Structure 1
Amino acid sequence: MSENPGQGRLILLGAPLGNPADASARLREHLAAAEVVAAEDTRRLLRLARDLDITVGGRIVSYFEGNEERRTPELVAEIAAGRTVALVTDGGMPSVSDPGYRLVRATLDAGAPVTVAPGPSAVTTALALSGLPCDRFCFEGFLPRSGSARRTRLRALAAEERTLVFFEAPHRIAATLADLVTTFGADRPAAVCRELTKTYEEVLRRPVGELADWATQGEPRGEITLVVAGAPPREAVRPDDEELRAAVAEREATGTSRRDAISEVATEYGLRRREVYAVVHTA
């Protein structure tokens, strides 16, 4: 990203999930050089700085869910005054189920630049460790805390074919897994990923029903990322002959040749062209 001397900017810093050795060189550089460092937890920031053997050179301010709305205009004013503001959360990337989106949006609305120093991600780390398909996935963040709202959301996701990734608190994981059994079925493959990159990292790869039983044996500790396999692909239902004839006739009525109409209908319904041809010509 090109920089203009004297122009303020916001830098989002991807922080280690738990192992300080995962900190990037750019994270170290920006923590030391930024004129203002906004941290979700200032004590954890200072502990990280000690672990990395660096000194945070700028003014440190707290920026968390409780003061986000009030502090955002203050930080945007700092950026407008030409200062560099670095935003760091307790782990992972700001804005991803953490404070940050409001400040990013306000900074952009003020016409100031936003950049990022990428870092570890609990989402992709858990996904890779889960043993479940990673080519297409859907990140849902934290589910609703209310049981009824959580079940409603899960029912809406039950037919999703992509692998699903959730964040969950230790004291709610048992209830969430029980609701998954109800809405997704006990046999759906899943993985509970706990304390990622830390000393007591644990990944449990089991069907949802077995994980629900595990969760009732005592409240697990640490941050949890839950990965759940997508629903099996639904079998396509072949339309009946009358529907196929009607689809071809509808296209012919708009001026499409019968040959092209048959090809288009075959493509739309995932059928062989000769199958649609046979239906149309045996009417």
Structure 2
Amino acid sequence: MRIIVIGRDGQVARSLAERAAAHGAEAVLLGRPKLDLADPSGIEDILYETGGDLIVNAAAYTAVDQAEAEPELAEAINGIGAGVIAGVAAAMSVPLIHISTDYVFDGTLDRPYREDDPVNPLGVYGTSKLLGETAVAEATGDHAILRTAWIYSPFGKNFVKTMLRLAQDRDEIGVVADQFGSPTSALDLADGIYAVAKNLLSKPQEGTLRGIFHMAGGGFASWAELASEIFAVSARSGGPSAKVRPLSTADYPTRAKRPANSRLDCGKLAAIHGVELPSWQSSLDRCLEQITAEQH
């Protein structure tokens, strides 16, 4: 199984590369400057030249606050660019897995979000990702759109690594306690993506395997609860730790509004694809072990 991965340096792309051998797959990562979703010219030629059995679009404009000042760029990458990739996938007659986000929802429900719940993004980032979902669905029927949330990994920039960095010179860190979500290991996400990819390739005519699915870590937490667990695990191995001071969203204003409820119901994914990601706590332990090992 040869998979073309759009997005060379992101957490999901790097995790797909790391987990490829375990799934008997070859992951070919494409990203800037060779392939730039903000500049669709040449994308078709590059994808045809690369060749593969399936495409995973893991590239995105993810700077949520900066997107408020750069809506056209966010839309170009997350919306228009995603549609271009999907169109090429259709022309190549290969399935597409497209990574989307919890930010397509406004966070006002009092339960985890299901795939058929109404979308209502609060900001430019969520709006641009929703445009991407629509563009993908219009360009190819052979797709699985995977919405995920709160991604962390040993790679790149993420909440886990930020907390560990801040704890190196702070005894107490204020963290928002009234936003709840589904922390997700990018390595677990990669395993799930490979499982979905195998299903799509083995059953090319099976319509129920196509469409929108939620794929996130098991269990839920607030940002403050996640931070507390990070520091508890880190402290057990002699790593940096700090006391968490719970904040409200109002205490920590940001340019872009965040959903208060980013919890995702992943029951459809389990029922149809047979994929269920591990709990965020167990995966966080493994992530911190890898980060610690790479620092020594």
- Same fold at TM > 0.5: no
Q: Which has the higher contact order (CA 8 A, sep 6+)?
A: 2
The structure whose Rg is larger is 1
Give TM-score scaled by structure 1 length.
Answer: 0.26
